[in-house]
Amino acid sequence: MIIYKIPLSSHKFQYISGKFQIWNISKIPQTKFPENFRKSSRPQFTNCPTMIVMVGLPARGKTYISKKLTRYLNWIGVPTQVFNLGQYRREVLQTYKNYEFFRPDNEEAMKIRRAYASNALKDIASYFTKEQGQVAVLDATNTTRERRGVIINFAKEKGYKVFFIESVCDDPEIIEANTMQVKLSSPDYENYDKEEALVDFLKRIDCYKMSYVPLDEEKDRHLSFIKIFNVGSRYLVNRVQDHIQSRIVYYLMNIHVTPRSIYLSRHGESELNLLGRIGGDTGLSSQGQKYAKALAEFIRGQSIKDLKVWTSHMKRTIQTAEALGVPYEQWKALNEIDAGVCEEMTYEEIQATHPEEFALRDQDKYRYRYPKGESYEDLVHRLEPVIMELERQENVLVICHQAVMRCLLAYFLDKSEDDLPYLKCPLHTVLKLTPLAYGCKVESFYLNIQAVNTHRDRPTVNRSQATLLLTIHYLLICSRAPVQKPSPA
Amino acid sequence: VADTTLTRELTQNPLKKIWVPSSTNGLPERYISQRKVCMTNCPTLIVTVGLPARGKTYISKKLTRYLNWIDVPTKEFNVGQYRRECVKIYKSFEFFRPDNEEGLKIRKQCALAALNDVRQFLTDEGGQVAVFDATNTTRERRETILRFAEQNGFKVFFVESVCEDPDVIAENIVQVKLGCPDYTHCNTEDAVADFMKRIKCYENSYQPLDEELDRDLSFIKIIDVGRRYLVNRVQDHIQSRIVYYLMNIHITPRSIYLCRHGESDLNIKGRIGGDSGLSARGKEFAKALGQFIQSQNIRDLKVWTSQMKRTIQTAEALGVPYEQWKALNEIDAGVCEELMYEEIQQKYPLEFALRDQDKYRYRYPKGESYEDLVQRLEPVIMELERQENVLVICHQAVMRCLLAYFLDKTAEELPYLKCALHTVLKLTPMAYGCKVESVCLNVDAVNTHRDRPSNVDVSRLPEEALLTVPDHH
C-alpha cells in the first residue's frame, strides 16, 4: 500500500496506456493531448468564444431571453455571462432623469452611450480571455446597422463568432404586459409614479423607433441570426454556424411565456430511505404511502388546469404517482443518480469499503463519478431533454429523486455547480415554481408527513489549501510521468 | 379521477423491467405510459412543398428514417410512385403540362389514392407520422390536403424546400433523376432537357408558402439547402424535434467511419461488458487502424471514442486528438456485467430466454436495453449529422444502433447486425441512401456475434440456449 500526497488542485493525472491509471474525480481517462483536456464529460460545444448580440426595441423581451438563455447555457456546462448595457448606463449616470437621455439628437448622451458600450465590449474580451468564458450575451437594443457593424468588427478582430437574436413584436398587449412586469419596477423609475413612468417609457421606445433598422433577410444574409416574431409564433433562422448556435436556436424555439407552474417533489419515503441506504429500487414505506395520499389531496386542492404528471422508472416514484389517480408518464431520464458499486450502501459502509472514493466525492461532489456509476454532471446531461420538454409544457408535476430534483432546481433557480449538489430537497415537500419577471418564484409546501432526513451537508474541507491525504491501492508508478497541472480549456 | 383507496399493485414487466400496475382492479392499461417521442394521440401529416429537384424526396426519406429510428412509426408516401404505377410508361414532360387535362386528372387521382393510404396508415395501422411527398405547389392542392387532415383529425406540418442555385439543382438531377425509372431508356442529355421542361410546367403556378397568407399554418421553409429557415407555428413536441433535425442535416459530401475498439482482454475470455484494456491483437489493430486512416487521406477528420478504456486505447494509437463521449459507452449489462454467456444461462436462465425473445426491448436487470441505447445515442446521431468526416470508435451494441440509423434497419434486425471486431465500415451518403464499404484490417480477433437461437422458450434446455454462443478461451 502506497501513500501519496496529492495537491488538491491537480487531481487529474496523466494516462499512460496499459500501465496504470489513477482515475480522476470524474473517472475520465486523461489523454496524452493537452488540447484534449476537458473538465467535463461532454464533448466540446465550440472552439471559439461566441458573442450573442440581442437586437430589438425596448420591452421586446431581450433581457428576459438573455437571462434565460444564459441560465440554460451555464446549466449545460457552457460558461456564459450577460452584459446588460442598461446596467452599465446606471453605473455611469447614477440617476435616471427621463427619456431625453435617449433622444437621437442628444449629442452629449450619445457620447456617453458609445463610451459605456465600448467598456462592455472590453469586459467581454476580458471575460473570454481571463475568465475562460465561452459565451457572452450582449443585452442592448443594437437597433442600428452602424452599431451592429461596430460589434461585428470588434468580434472579427478578436476572432469571436457572432450570433444575433432579434425580437420583433408589434402586439401592443404584449408590449404593455412587458412594460408593467419589468420596466416600471426598474431602478430607473424608483421615484416615478406608475402613470408617469409608463408615459416616459413609451417616449423612450419612440426615441429608438426612428432609427431602428431590423435585421434583413437580404442585406444581412451573411450574418448568423435568429429573428423571433411575436413571442415565438414565427422564426427566421439564418446561417447557423456550429453546434452551440444550433442548440441555442432549438432552445429559443421551445421556450414560451404562457403563465404556468412546475411542481417538483421527491417520491414518498422509501424502505431504503428508512435504512439509510442510497439508491436501489424499493417501494414506499408506510409514511411514504401516507405522503402519496397527502400529495393527491394537495394537488386536488391546487385546482391545476391540464396537469401533466411525470415519474421516473423506479418503483417509488411510480407508487407515489399511483395515489394521485391520474394518468402519468414514466421517464427513464428521471431515474436517480446511479451510485455504481455503492448502490444500496449506507454512507458508513461506503466510508468503510471505499474511503478514498468517499473523500473524493466531498472534494468535488458535482464532478465526482461513482465507480461504474454517474456524477451530477452526467445527471445534468441526462436531464437536458427533460428540461427542454418542461420548457415546452405548461403545468407539470415531476415526481423524482433527491439528486435529480437538485439538478432540476438548479436549472430553474440558476444555482452554480458548487451549490447544486447541496441544495435542500427534503422528502415529503413539494416545491411550486412559477416563472415571474426575470426569474422564478418558489413556494415550499411541507405536507406534514414525517420522514427521515436524507440530506448530507457540505463537509468542512478547506478547499483552498493544497493537500489531501489519500491512500491508494494497487499503484504502479511510471517514472517518467510527472504529475501535470491541467492546462486551461 | 379514481378512488385513491384502490391503489394498484405494481409488478415489474420481466422484459423491459418497467413497473406497471397489475390489472387487479380493472383500471385501464392506458392509464400510464412510457415517455415516448410522440406523446400525442393525434397523428401528424408532414406535407412537402416545392418544385421538382429541390430535395423533397431526399428530406422525406431521411426524416422518415430518423423518426423510425427514434421509435416514431413513420412512413413516406411518394405521389410520383403512385403515378408510375398508374401510367406504366413515362413518355415525356408533356404529361406535366398545366393544360394537359388527362394528365391533371390522373395526377389528382394519384394524390387522392396516396392520401387514402395515408389515412389507413395513420388510423388503422398504428402509424404516427405520414410524410406526403409531392410538389404540392398550389394553394388549392394544399387546401385539399388540409381539409382531408381536418376530417380525419390529423395535424399538418408543411416542409417547403426553396432553392434557386442552378448548381444544386443540376447536381440533384444528375444524382437522382437520371437514374429514376422515368428515364431508364433515355440518354443523359435528353433526360436533363426533358426534366428541365418538367420543372417549367410547375413554375408558373407555383405559390410558395407565404409569411402573411399562410400565417395560421405550421411549416418550415428551407431556403438554399439550409442557409436560411423560416419556421411558423410549431404546434407540439414532435414538430419541434422535426424542425431541429431538419436544421441540423446537410448535404456536403463526407464519410463516416464506424469501428469497434480493438479486441479486449474480456473479449478473449468470452465475457461481456466490463472496462478492460486491449489484448495484444487489439493493440495490433489499433496500429493498423492508424495506418488505414492515414492512407485514406481524410480531410479534417474528427475522432470520437467512448469513455471506456478499450476505445480510448485504440484511439491513442492514431496519434491525433479525439473526443470522448459517455453516450458512446457500451450497453450496460447490469447484473450480467463481465459474465460469460454460459454463466448468464446458469445464473439467470429466464433473463437469457427473455433476451432472445425480444433482444431490442429486453433490459438487463439494473442495466439497459437496445431501446435505451438508441435514446442515449440520439444526440450522437444529431451531432454526426452536423459534422463532416468522422471516425467513431465504439462498441458492438452501440455500433449496431448507429448502423441501423444509417442503413434504415428495423428494431428486429438491429440487435443482430454483424459488427465484427477489427473491421471498419465506411459510410458515404449517396442519392437517397448510404453506400457501405467494409474494410477488414487483417488482424485476427475472436468472434463476439451471437445469433438468435431457434428455441427462445423459457423452458428450453441449456444446450439449446448456448447453441449460438461464439467460441472463446
> Looking at A11, A166, A336, A374, which residue is catalytic?
A336
Q: Which ipTM score applies to this complex?
A: 0.91
**Total-model pTM:** 0.90
The pLDDT confidence band at residue A28, using thresholds 50, 70 and 90, is: low
Considering only A27-31, A116-120, A187-191, A203-207, which range has the smallest mean pLDDT?
A27-31
Give the residue-averaged pLDDT of A439-459.
94
Query: What pLDDT, on the 0 to 100 scale, is given for residue B206?
Result: 97
Q: Please state whether beta strands B219-223 and B228-232 pair in parallel, antiparallel, or not at all (unpaired).
A: antiparallel
Asked if B152 and B76 touch (Cβ cutoff 8 Å), the reply is: no
- Decide: helix, strand or coil at residue B187: coil
**Residue with the three cell numbers 435585421:** A215
B234 → closest Cβ in A253, A289, A310: A253
Q: What is the pLDDT of residues A225-253, one digit of tens each?
A: 999 999 999 999 999 999 999 999 999 99
Q: What is the pLDDT of residues B132-163, one digit of tens each?
A: 999 999 999 999 999 999 999 999 999 999 99
Query: What pLDDT, on the 0 to 100 scale, is given for residue A187?
Result: 87
Count the Cβ atoms, other than its own, within 10 Å of residue A360.
22
Verify whether the Cβ–Cβ distance B35 to A246 is below 8 Å: no
Give the residue-averaged pLDDT of B22-45.
66
Q: Answer yes or no: A377 catalytic.
A: no
Instruction: Work out the minimum CA distance from A236 to partner chain B, whole angstroms.
Output: 4
The pLDDT confidence band at residue B33, using thresholds 50, 70 and 90, is: low
Residues of chain B neighbouring A233 (CB-CB closer than 8 A): 215, 232-233
Give the residue-averaged pLDDT of A147-152.
97
Is residue A4's pLDDT more than 90? no
Query: What pLDDT, on the 0 to 100 scale, is given for residue B29?
Result: 52
SS (H, E, C) B87-155: CCCCCCHHHHCCCCHHHHHHHHHHHHHHHHHHHHHHHHCCCCEEEEECCCCCHHHHHHHHHHHHHHCCE
Query: What pLDDT, on the 0 to 100 scale, is given for residue B38?
Result: 63
Verify whether the Cβ–Cβ distance B2 to A325 is below 8 Å: yes
C-alpha cell belonging to residue B8: 394498484
Q: Name every residue whose Cβ is closer than 8 Å to that of residue A112 and which is 6 or more positions away in sequence.
A: A89, A92, A93
Give the residue-averaged pLDDT of A111-132.
96
> Among B405, B353, B354, which residue's Cα sits nearest to residue B376?
B405
Q: What is the pLDDT of residues B104-121, one digit of tens each?
A: 999 999 999 999 999 999
Would you give the DSSP letter of residue B451?
P
Query: What pLDDT, on the 0 to 100 scale, is given for residue A473?
Result: 26
The pLDDT confidence band at residue A259, using thresholds 50, 70 and 90, is: very high
Query: What pLDDT, on the 0 to 100 scale, is given for residue B91?
Result: 87
Query: What pLDDT, on the 0 to 100 scale, is given for residue A235?
Result: 97
Query: What pLDDT, on the 0 to 100 scale, is given for residue B440?
Result: 96
Give the residue-averaged pLDDT of B169-175.
88
- Decide: helix, strand or coil at residue A332: helix
**Residue with the three cell numbers 451592429:** A148
Q: Answer yes or no: A357 catalytic.
A: no
Is residue A84's pLDDT more than 60? yes
Query: What pLDDT, on the 0 to 100 scale, is given for residue A27?
Result: 66
Q: What is the pLDDT of residues B284-320, one digit of tens each?
A: 999 999 999 999 999 999 999 999 999 999 999 999 9
B10 → closest Cβ in A36, A318, A378: A318
Q: Name every residue whose Cβ is closer than 8 Å to that of residue B447 and which is 6 or more positions away in sequence.
A: B420, B421, B470, B471
Chain B residue with CA closest to A240: the answer is B227
Burial of B22 (0-12, 13-18, 19+ CB in 10 A): exposed
Q: What is the pLDDT of residues B332-381, one digit of tens each?
A: 999 999 999 999 999 999 999 999 999 999 999 999 999 999 999 999 99
Cα–Cα distance measured from residue A373 to residue A341, given in angstroms and rounded to the nearest whole number: 7
Give the residue-averaged pLDDT of B427-453.
94
Query: What pLDDT, on the 0 to 100 scale, is given for residue A416?
Result: 97
Asked if B232 and B214 touch (Cβ cutoff 8 Å), the reply is: yes
Give the residue-averaged pLDDT of A86-90.
95
Instruction: Work out the minimum CA distance from B352 to partner chain A, whole angstroms.
Output: 22
Cα–Cα distance measured from residue A117 to residue A113, given in angstroms and rounded to the nearest whole number: 6
Query: What pLDDT, on the 0 to 100 scale, is given for residue A36?
Result: 38
Asked if residue B310 belongs to a known ligand binding site, the reply is yes
Query: What pLDDT, on the 0 to 100 scale, is given for residue A111?
Result: 95
Query: What pLDDT, on the 0 to 100 scale, is given for residue A488?
Result: 45
Asked if A132 and A78 touch (Cβ cutoff 8 Å), the reply is: no
Query: What pLDDT, on the 0 to 100 scale, is given for residue B17?
Result: 86
The pLDDT confidence band at residue A92, using thresholds 50, 70 and 90, is: very high
The pLDDT confidence band at residue A470, using thresholds 50, 70 and 90, is: very low
Asked if B335 and B367 touch (Cβ cutoff 8 Å), the reply is: yes
Q: What is the pLDDT of residues B229-283, one digit of tens each?
A: 999 999 999 999 999 999 999 999 999 999 999 999 999 999 999 999 999 999 9
Asked if A36 and B323 touch (Cβ cutoff 8 Å), the reply is: yes
Q: What is the per-residue burial (b if ≥16 Cβ within 10 Å, else e) of A138-157?
A: bbbbbbeeebbeebbebbee
Catalytic site positions of B: 261, 330
Q: How many A×B Cβ pairs under 8 Å?
A: 144
Verify whether the Cβ–Cβ distance A235 to B231 is below 8 Å: yes
Query: What pLDDT, on the 0 to 100 scale, is given for residue A487?
Result: 42
Between the CA of residue A93 and those of A11, A84, A96, A98, A188, what are the distances in Å? 46, 15, 7, 12, 11
The pLDDT confidence band at residue A44, using thresholds 50, 70 and 90, is: low
The pLDDT confidence band at residue A26, using thresholds 50, 70 and 90, is: low
Give the residue-averaged pLDDT of A422-447.
95
Looking only at Cα atoms, what is the longest distance across chain B? 77
Asked if A81 and A174 touch (Cβ cutoff 8 Å), the reply is: no
Residues of chain A neighbouring B323 (CB-CB closer than 8 A): 36, 43-44
Q: What is the pLDDT of residues A281-304, one digit of tens each?
A: 999 999 999 999 999 999 999 999
The pLDDT confidence band at residue A184, using thresholds 50, 70 and 90, is: confident
Query: What pLDDT, on the 0 to 100 scale, is given for residue A3?
Result: 32
**Which strand (E) or helix (H) includes residue A470?**
strand A467-472
Instruction: Work out the minimum CA distance from B41 to partner chain A, whole angstroms.
Output: 14
